[in-house]
Amino acid sequence: MKKLNVAIIGQGRSGKNIHGRYYLSERNLYYNVKYVVDMNEHMREVARGLYPGCTVLSDYTELFGKTDIDLVVNASYSEMHFPITKSLLEHGFNVLSEKPFARNVYECDLLIETAKEHGVLLAVFHNTQLAPFYLDAKEKAGSGILGDIKQVSIRYNSLSRRWDWQTLQKKMGGSAYNTGPHPIAMALGFLDFDKDAKVIFTRLDTSSTSGDGEDYVKILMSAPQKPLIDIEMNSTDAFCDYNIKIQGSRGTMKLTPTTYKLKYFTEEENPTHSVIEQTLRNDDGMPVYCSEKLNFHEEEGTYSATAFDAGTAGIYENLYYALTEGRPLIVNCEMATRVIGVIELAHAQNPLPLKVL
């Protein structure tokens, strides 16, 4: 199997600790790190040690004209995803862009069109879409074991504070752009990326952040004949113990990236009652509350892998075969664009004041 040559732009938390971690793992059967780009001299030196034989550069434009690169990974600052990706596409490179894809739908569409014009492949790194806990949640929701799914709640909550660059609107910071691509993509997935999916409600606010980007996000979504999706990214919640909760007519499932709990009943073991119009009474003729003891089934377990390892490996494996055999992307750019459309709408409906620094 021929390995593809990769150039990584950025050696921050994503470029080094997510993408780099994958390249150095046993899961990586497909890629060789040929170039690393970072403006920070220390991180360039670190890259030399991590990827023996790689060439380090200080500016991504130094990649232009090189013919030994099969894929460029754009793990730059969020506000640079669009301009750098566009420039790379225009110079004939296949690109995997970190999330967020871009600031708005217009920019996303422009990147997709640019890739088509130059005959190159464009992908967006939404590794949570292939996370084991999310795939299991989708499978259980569609299996019928929980009955008719009425609501899916997605939470990325904590009691916390931030003061880094990702708290600034000018840097495309705030929870919606930083964290939002994960739960919003999940939400759209539970709605099967239905073209008629609608955003019902949005609220953005600031709480304990030192910047001017939101650290409280509430979004409600649904589609015809689909469940209500309730999304939160909230820095004021100290007691949230799940990332996904699925509520159906016969049961509930609660998941974190590493654990799950399931409680449900079956119609066969618990036949449906015929409705009674009169007051329910006990054997003594006294009124009683309508209740029953259902025969529940309960299950819990763990996941041995997460979005950071299995999800990342899945994205890269699919991308390899998309580049070498023309296979379709599991997470395509149109899906990533839908995510940005939700974030763009939330910001349009909840403009926040800019902080003068």
Q: What is the pLDDT of residues 57-69, one digit of tens each?
A: 999 999 999 999 9
Global confidence as pTM: 0.95
> In the chain, helix, strand, coil percent, each to 5?
35, 25, 40
One domain, residues 197 and 64: no
Look up the CATH number of the domain holding residue 22.
Answer: 3.40.50.720
Mean pLDDT across the stretch 317-328? 98
Residue 26 lies in a domain: yes
Mean pLDDT across the stretch 336-346? 98
State the amino acid at position 163 in one-letter form. W
Tokens of 278: 């009169």
Q: Which H/E stretch holds residue 139?
A: helix 132-143
pLDDT over threshold 80, residue 356: no
One domain, residues 95 and 232: no
One domain, residues 145 and 282: yes
68-107 CB burial, b ≥16 within 10 A, e <16: ebbbbbbbbebbbbbebbbbbbebebbbbbbbbbbbbbeb
Residue 228 lies in a domain: yes
Which pLDDT does position 355 carry in this prediction? Answer: 83
Q: Which of 314, 310, 290, 345 is nearest to 132 (CA)?
A: 310
In percent, how much of the chain has pLDDT > 70?
100
One domain, residues 94 and 190: no
Give the count of alpha carbons within 13 A of 156, CB side only: 19
Domain total in the chain: 2
Cα distances (angstroms) measured from residue 266 to each of 23, 55, 296, 297: 46, 60, 8, 8
Q: How far apart are CA 184 and CA 175, in angstroms?
A: 12
Which pLDDT does position 1 carry in this prediction? Answer: 81
One domain, residues 104 and 176: no
One domain, residues 100 and 21: yes
Look up the CATH number of the domain holding residue 176.
Answer: 3.30.360.10
Asked whether the beta carbons of 135 and 331 are under 8 A apart, the reply is: no
Domain ranges, residue 178: 130-306+340-349
Largest Cα–Cα separation, the chain = 90
Q: Which H/E stretch holds residue 136?
A: helix 132-143
For the segment 32-61, what is each residue's pLDDT rounded down to a tens digit?
999 999 999 999 999 999 999 999 999 999
